[in-house]
Structure 1
């Protein structure tokens, strides 16, 4: 009789220990799973934040392109007017005023180019993946800068080029959003 009781008692103890062990392991797995989920949530939130910063940086860059386009057009106009004054040659004060105006516009252009370079650096920092879309935007930005704002050629970026850039940025952001949704839904 005692052997049956002891046997039942040992079976019960082993069963309880097994249940405790199973519960402990399940809790540990759930804890690990929750930590992984929290880490993934943090990564996804950071990606969303980066995409937002990329959007703002590119918008600012395009705004700077538009601003410097106006400066270049103004510079071209004042250069033509200065040349007319020089050819007439009869008013030195008018010539000095025109040269001063040119100097001011050139300083404004240099300041704007510095802002563009700063924004371009930020955009390149946010374009950290090597996707086809990101590479296109990097290359397009480099092409625009080298083609239109180089020392050899300082002219406005045509509107169609800016529109094309905006469209490609939209495609990139849509692609990034789709990728993020796919990651989250897994």
Structure 2
């Protein structure tokens, strides 16, 4: 049975994806409207905003799940936040490597984020590209990597549809971060608990 989300009828699975993405966004002081509004403006700004959301969410998860447990020594949370904020996205000590090591991101999601970051780097390091559409800046294989549903992108895909597919990819990464970062219930002698 379908559910209604923002006056649209959607499948229960899609509604769950939106709810979990919204929970992850709320930790950063954002809401789904921010994601809905991503497609306003030029493609370079759209890509930059998408990656900014993901980097902020990754930082939140690193702080919350990797450094915040009952066995951790007392620490300066503000200082730790600054350190995580300065972590690079890629590389052996970057956010992606860290989250992968803690099994908080799938290989497919890491590939999606890396691809998005490579597109962002193309735009960021050549300001002349700021008015060019995404399809003019990167090749079809790169675009297909950003469209997380196989076979959905072809020559007839409009720029607006492409932005929707990438936005959906961002929402699915937020869902995955939220889902994998949730404390898992464990059975203890005294009953059900969370770690």
Is the pair's TM-score, using the shorter chain for normalization, greater than 0.5? no
TM-score (norm 1): 0.24
Higher strand share: 2
TM-score (structure 2 length as normaliser): 0.23
Larger Rg: 1
Query: Which structure shows the higher helix fraction?
Result: 1
